[in-house]
Amino acid sequence: MTEPREVPAEPVAFTLSIPDSWFELDVRPRTRDDSIKTLVEERVRSRAELWEHRSELIKVLRRQARDAWESGAIYCACFVMVLEESIIPSSLTLSVIPPPPGGSSIDAISESLPTREQTEEEGVWMSRSLVSLPSIGRVPRSQGVTDVAIPGGPGWIRTLVMHTFVPIDADRLLLVAAASPAIDLTEPLLELFDAVTSTLVLIPGDLPG
């Protein structure tokens, strides 16, 4: 489980439970490179399938942390799959964002989310719904397969995404964004992303200690 993290502006904290095999990443520019190197070397030493890929894994996770920071994320966790000698990263980030023009109500957020029907096999699609998080209640969610621009370079990568929007107050939402390029694993990944997101707990007030 995460240590309570502070959300910018008014004091609000959160906790999130992630699987033991995931990597919680330091996204701060001054410390992330060294901390990710140490994290990887400590965590994969006993995992032969990852140990031989540790240099590439460090590069991938540093890139994930950099992209998360540049997108405004306050938290980032990743897990990786090794497929045919390639490392496939998947990520979950938390960011504080403004509400849509219609406001921060559940209905206004839900109505602002895009939808798109799938017209071809392995094509793009997007759905929206209201889901119930055990510690929070009903919140809007969008999920589907979309083409995401490659950060810092040309081109796109087809990506499975799940975005869950948690109102904090009238001016802020907490966005829980999960993503993976492994679209052939859409159903199990959506179940995994939902399970992790469902552990989110908001803690109003000052952080403990």
pLDDT of 100 reads: 92
Would 20 be classed as within a structural domain? yes
Would 125 be classed as within a structural domain? yes
Return the percent helix, strand and coil in the chain, to nearest 5: 25, 40, 35
Its pTM stands at 0.87
pLDDT of 206 reads: 41
Q: What are phi and psi of 10, to 5 degrees?
A: -65, 145
Domain that holds residue 10: 5-203
Would 208 be classed as within a structural domain? no
pLDDT of 7 reads: 47
Would 60 be classed as within a structural domain? yes
Would 74 be classed as within a structural domain? yes
Q: Name the token pair of 11.
A: 């004091």
- pLDDT by residue for the chain (209 residues), tens only, comes to 555 444 445 546 899 999 988 999 999 999 999 999 999 988 888 777 778 888 988 999 999 999 999 888 999 999 988 777 678 889 999 999 999 999 999 999 999 999 998 877 777 999 999 999 999 999 999 999 998 877 666 778 899 999 999 998 888 899 999 999 999 899 999 999 999 999 999 987 543 33
DSSP state of 3: P
Q: Name the token pair of 38.
A: 């140490």
Closest CA to 74 of 57, 97, 58, 106: 97
Domain count, the chain: 1
Would 37 be classed as within a structural domain? yes
Would 27 be classed as within a structural domain? yes
Sign, Cα dihedral of 191, 106, 5, 145: positive
Pairwise CA distance, residues 180 & 92, whole Å = 9
Would 209 be classed as within a structural domain? no
pLDDT of 1 reads: 54
